[in-house]
């Protein structure tokens, strides 16, 4: 904490940044939900289309987190849970919207985390199924894997034929 009484944190700037960050986070949650729908439906084209807007949201969230960090550091606080808590207790007395908006932001971040973890589990499940299918196909074709013992890619044409028309 900074003992300098001349340091006056910019609560209005913090609230503005937090509102903007929450807006971006809400958009990110929407994109994660769309991603989840696409994963469940096996819609690879939709997944590909979501990658760019998700990346833009992540970049914007990182920028807002950097701004929040700078505001906290300028106020003499550490940019971690303890510093934010201390700052909220101190300035929440004069600006009652501050702690409420922070709680709302944290709850939305938890939702994003839960959906993201769920999407990760869906991706892992799809990957496992795909790997099993490839192993079955390679085995039926007499190919032990996608790469030979020398580390070079094995062509599917080098194995035996699965069927002849």
Query: How far apart are the C-alpha atoms of 86 and 89, rounded to whole Å?
Result: 5
153: phi then psi, degrees, rounded to nearest 5: -65, 140
Q: Please give the residue that has the higher pLDDT: either 158 or 122.
A: 122
Instruction: Considering only CA atoms, give the Rg of the chain.
Output: 25
Percentage of the chain beyond pLDDT 70 is: 80
Q: Is the predicted pLDDT of residue 34 greater than 90, yes or no?
A: yes
Q: Is the predicted pLDDT of residue 134 greater than 90, yes or no?
A: no
Structure confidence at residue 35 (pLDDT): 97
Query: How far apart are the C-alpha atoms of 93 and 58, rounded to whole Å?
Result: 32
Q: Is the predicted pLDDT of residue 140 greater than 60, yes or no?
A: yes
H-helix segments, the chain: 11-41, 44-74, 81-92, 97-140
Query: How far apart are the C-alpha atoms of 25 and 112, rounded to whole Å?
Result: 8
Average pLDDT of the chain?
Answer: 84
CB 146 within 8 Å of CB 133: no
Pick the range with the lowest mean pLDDT from 61-70, 84-93, 126-135: 126-135
The stretch 102-124 carries a mean pLDDT of 96
- Domains in the chain and their CATH numbers? 11-129 (1.20.58.300)
Structure confidence at residue 5 (pLDDT): 40
What pTM, to 2 d.p., does this model score? 0.76
Q: Is the predicted pLDDT of residue 4 greater than 50, yes or no?
A: no
Query: How far apart are the C-alpha atoms of 110 and 119, rounded to whole Å?
Result: 14
Pick the range with the lowest mean pLDDT from 11-15, 21-25, 96-100, 127-131: 127-131
């Amino acid at each position: 904490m900074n003992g300098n009484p001349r340091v006056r944190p910019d609560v209005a700037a913090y609230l503005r940044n937090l509102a903007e960050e929450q807006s971006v986070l809400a958009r990110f949650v929407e994109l994660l939900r769309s991603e989840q729908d696409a994963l469940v439906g096996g819609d690879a084209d939709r997944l590909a289309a979501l990658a760019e807007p998700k990346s833009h949201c992540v970049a914007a969230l990182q920028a807002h987190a950097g701004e929040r960090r700078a505001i906290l550091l300028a106020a003499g606080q550490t940019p971690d849970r303890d510093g934010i808590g201390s700052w909220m207790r101190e300035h929440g007395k004069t600006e009652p919207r501050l702690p409420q908006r922070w709680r709302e932001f944290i709850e939305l971040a938890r939702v994003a985390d839960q959906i993201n973890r769920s999407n990760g589990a869906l991706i892992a499940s799809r990957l496992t199924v795909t790997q099993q299918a490839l192993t079955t196909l390679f085995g039926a074709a007499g190919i032990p894997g996608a790469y030979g013992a020398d580390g070079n890619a094995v062509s599917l044409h080098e194995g035996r034929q699965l069927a002849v028309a």
